[in-house]
Chains A and B, each alone.
Chain A
Amino acid sequence: MSAAPLLDIRRLTVRFGGLTAVADLDLDVREGEIVGLIGPNGAGKTTAFNVISGLETATAGEVRFRGRRISGLQPHRITALGIGRTFQNIRLFGALSVLDNVLIGEHVRTSGGLLDVLVRVRREREEERVAAARARELLDFVGLGHRGPERAGSLPFGEQRRLELARALATGPALLLLDEPAAGANPTERATLVTYIRRIRERGVTILLIEHDMKVVMGICERVAVLNFGRRIAFGPPEAVAADRAVVEAYLGAEAS
Chain B
Amino acid sequence: MVEWLAAFWQTYNTLVYLLFTHAILALSIYITLNTGLLSVGNAAFAGIGAYTSALLTMKLDLPFPVCLAAGSAAAGLVGLAIGLPVLRLSGVYLALATLAFGEVIRVVFLNLEVTGGAMGLNGIPPKTELWHLVLACAALIYFFERLRRSRLGRTLDAIREDEVAARVMGIDVVYHKNLVFVLGAMLAGLAGGFNAHFTFFISPREYGFGPAVDILAFAVLGGTGSYWGPILGSTILTLLPELLRFLADFRGMVTGLVLFLVIVYLPNGLLEVPDVVRRMLRRGAKP
Contacts and interface: CB of A to CB of B under 8 A. Distances in A.
Whether chain A touches chain B in the assembled complex (some CB pair under 8 Å):
yes
Interface of A: 53-55, 74-76, 79-80, 84-85, 87, 91-96, 100, 103-105, 107-108, 110-114, 116-118, 121, 124, 127-128, 131, 167, 171
A104 B155 contact: yes
Contact of A100 (B154, B162, B166, B168): B154
B150 A91 contact: no
A75 B168 contact: yes
B150 A74 contact: no
A124 B150 contact: yes
Contacts of A116: 150-152
Interface string B128-150: 00000000000000010011011
Nearest to B144: A117
Contact of B169 (A74, A94, A104, A112): A104
Contacts of A87: 165
Given A104-B155, A107-B169, 19 more contacts: A74-B167, A74-B172, A76-B167, A76-B169, A76-B172, A76-B173, A79-B170, A93-B162, A96-B157, A104-B158, A107-B151, A113-B151, A114-B152, A114-B179, A117-B147, A117-B152, A124-B150, A131-B151, A171-B170
Contacts of A112: 150-152
Contacts of B164: 55, 91
Contacts of B149: 128
B171 interface: yes
Contact of B165 (A91, A103, A124): A91
A94 B150 contact: no
A175 to B, nearest CB: 13
A43 B152 CA distance: 39
B61 interface: no
B242 interface: no
Contacts of A131: 151
Contacts of A74: 167, 172
Dominant secondary structure of chain B at its interface with chain A: helix
Contacts of B154: 96, 100, 103-104
Ordered nearest first, which 6 A-B pairs have the shortest CB separation? A108-B170, A79-B170, A112-B151, A93-B161, A75-B167, A91-B165
Given A76-B167, A85-B168, A107-B170, A96 B150 contact: no
Contact of A76 (B147, B170, B179): B170
B170 A127 contact: no
Contacts of B173: 76
A93 B158 contact: yes
A117 B161 contact: no
B151 A128 contact: yes
A104 to B, nearest CB: 5
B218 to A, nearest CB: 22
B73 to A, nearest CB: 15
A59 to B, nearest CB: 20
B128 to A, nearest CB: 23
B161 A95 contact: yes
A55 B155 CA distance: 19
Nearest to A85: B168
Nearest to B148: A117
A104 B166 contact: yes
B158 A171 contact: no
Given A93-B157, A94-B161, A114-B179, A53 B151 contact: no
Contact of A96 (B151, B161, B170, B183): B161
A79 B169 contact: yes
